[in-house]
Amino acid sequence: MSIRTNKMKAVGVLMKQLATSRRKFHEKGRDESFDGELENLWLVLNNKR
C-alpha cells in the first residue's frame, strides 16, 4: 500500500514498516541505543494514530 495513494493509512503503514525494521534489528542483535530511538518513534506514531 502506498502512502502517496492513501494518506489516511500513512501512520499505519509506517508503524508496520517500523515493526518489521525492529524485528530485523533484533534478529541481528544490533546496538541497544538505536532500539531506544525506534521505541520513541513507535510511541510518537502510536499517539498520532
**What are the sequence ranges of the domains in the chain?**
7-48
Q: How confident is the model at residue 40, as a pLDDT?
A: 87
Q: 43 in the Ramachandran plot: left (φ > 0), alpha (ψ -120 to 50) or beta?
A: alpha
SS3 5: coil
Say what the pLDDT of residue 3 is.
Answer: 62
The model's pTM = 0.62
What cell numbers appear for 42 in the block?
513507535
pLDDT for position 2: 62
Binned average pLDDT, 10 residues per bin, the chain of 49 residues: 70 87 79 79 82
pLDDT at 23: 85
